[in-house]
Structure formats: C-alpha cells, structure tokens
Amino acid sequence: MTAPNLIWLLAGVGGILVIATVVGEMLRLRLSPDRTNPVIENLNARIAAWWVMVGLLAIAFMAGKVGVVVLFALCSFAALREFLTLTAYDRADHWSLVASFFLILPLQYYLVMIDWYGMYAVFIPVYVFLLLPVLSAFQGTAREFLTRVSETQWALMICVYCVSHVPALLFLQIPGFEGRNVILIAYLIFVVQLSDVMQYVWGRLVGRRKIAPQLSPSKTWEGMIGGVLTATVAGTALWWMTPFLPLQAAVLCLVITMMGFFGGLVMSAVKRDKGIKDWGHLIAGHGGFIDRLDSVIFAAPIFFHITRYYWSLT
C-alpha cells in the first residue's frame, strides 16, 4: 500500500497544506489580527481541518485494505447518523434504523471487503430498497410512511452505498497497475476536493453570477468553472501516477469534478429543505462529515464504474 507514487502524492498534498497554512496565517495577521474577518477565519479553519483529515487518510492508506475499508465505514456511520438525525421517523421505524446502522452498513462494507461486486452493487438499491420498508410496515403505522421510508432509503444510498465505492477501488484488477490501487482513492479525493476548494477560492475572487442563490448563495458560475478547470488541469498533470493516459485523465477529472459540484448542489438543496446550514459540527470549520463528503459521494460511484468498465479485468 506504500507505493512510491502514493508517497509522492501525500508529500505533495502535505507541501500544499504547509504553504496554505503559512499563507493563511499571513492573511490572518494582516487582515484579521483580532480574528473578526469571517472569510479569513473560515479559510484557516478549513486548512486546520484538512491537516486532520489528510493525516487520517495517510494512516488508513499505510494500514492497508482493511484500514481503508474501516475508515470509510466509520465515515459512512457518522454521515448516516447526521442524515437520519434530520429525517422524519416514528417509533415504528425503530428496527429499520437499527438494521440500517448495524446490519446494512457493515454488510455493505463486508461485501466490498470480500470483493463480491455482483452483490454489493445491488444490495442496497435492490434488496434493501424493497425489504427495509417491510420492517416499518409490520408495525402498522401509516403516518408519513412514504416520507419516512424514502428518507431512510435516500440516506442509505448517499451515506453508505455511494461512499462504499471509494474503498471498492482497491479491489479492481487493472493490468500493469497491481498493488497501486490505493493511488486511485488518493487521486479521486485529491481532484474532487481540490475542485471544491478552488470553487470557493475562485468564487470569492471573481464570482459574480449566482447559480442557485436560494440553495447555495456562495456557488457562482465563475467559481464553478474556475474550480473545475483548475482541478482538471491538476488531475491531468498527475496522469503519470494513474492507469490513465493524459486525455483519459482529463476527461475523467472533468466528469468527477462536475459530479462533485452536482453533489454539493443537491446536498445544499436537502439542507435548505431541512432548514440547516451544516449537516453537523463534528469537524471544526467544515461542518459535519456530509459537508466534506458531499462532492465525493456523487463522484465516487461514477469514477469507480467508469474505471472498472474500461480498465479493470473484472
């Protein structure tokens, strides 16, 4: 799991964080010495949180496949808790919620661990989708039944099914890329999150036209285009550590950064519907796990299936 390319990528990300930390501190000393500038304080909080998250990812990568699967299973657990805390539920849904956390989630990641693609690809969208509502139906309560069931199903799709496709990248059999699959995870997260950060930066610098002001006032067309193109260029420049050719890397990066943007927009719509700003407050400066995972959530399944279809033997 400690492939040289991965070490270089982690070192590069660490270098970027060092520079970002220095720049953030300089901006704070110059523009926010009393810590009252919300933009500067938010930026520094994000940088500090990224140090923690990159450290956890590095530890998981060094721990091997089990470490990576466990890390993302824990992320799914935290995200599912955030999502379901905001949903409508009844006492009749008790066993459905228990099954979601302690049966469906671990079973999905177990199926990923044993590389049973034929099952983990359909387990939640088919079997859980059809059978989970039965647990609530047996309790005989019809009040807001459709809302309760659909929100639980949506939570499992977003927080468990989609996220589980990140560690699933470890088990793809790509000729000539054996033993280096962890780089695909680092590559996916780096490109998508770089796009996320650069959309924020470009939006602050040159953003004028709002994309969906009622859903996410900070998202602008200039920020979106600038962030997507910046991350696409960066991801294309790193093609040499992936199984992709430069043009292939460019197309993939464009696809996953756009999917990441769509994910952020959709999850913002859900938050506005629930009347909240952040999914949680577990990560200082970043809100909850879903606030950090929303872009990766939408990008991961697309990246996984495109890579599996065109580059993997299975």
Cβ(242)–Cβ(185) below 8 Å: no
Confidence tier at 1 by pLDDT (50, 70, 90): very low
Cβ(135)–Cβ(95) below 8 Å: yes
Rg, Å, the chain Cα set = 20
Mean pLDDT for 41-57 is 74
Query: In this structure, how many other beta carbons lie within 10 angstroms of the beta carbon of residue 298?
Result: 24
Over residues 291-308, the pLDDT tens digits come to: 778 899 999 999 999 999
- Give strand pairing partners of 283: 287
Query: Tokens 């009749």 appear where?
Result: 92
Cβ(188)–Cβ(300) below 8 Å: yes
Question: How far from each other are the two terminal CA atoms of the chain, in whole angstroms?
Answer: 21
pTM for the whole structure: 0.88
Over residues 190-249, the pLDDT tens digits come to: 899 889 888 988 988 898 899 988 888 888 999 999 999 999 999 999 999 999 999 999
Structure token pair of residue 276: 């909240």
Percentage of residues of the chain with pLDDT beyond 90: 49
Q: How far is CA 276 from the centre of its chain?
A: 19
Structure token pair of residue 41: 């304080």
Over residues 135-174, the pLDDT tens digits come to: 989 887 888 899 999 999 999 999 999 999 999 999 999 9
**Residue 284, pLDDT score:** 53
Coil, helix or strand at residue 279: coil
Quote the CA–CA distance of 176 and 179 in Å, as a whole number: 9
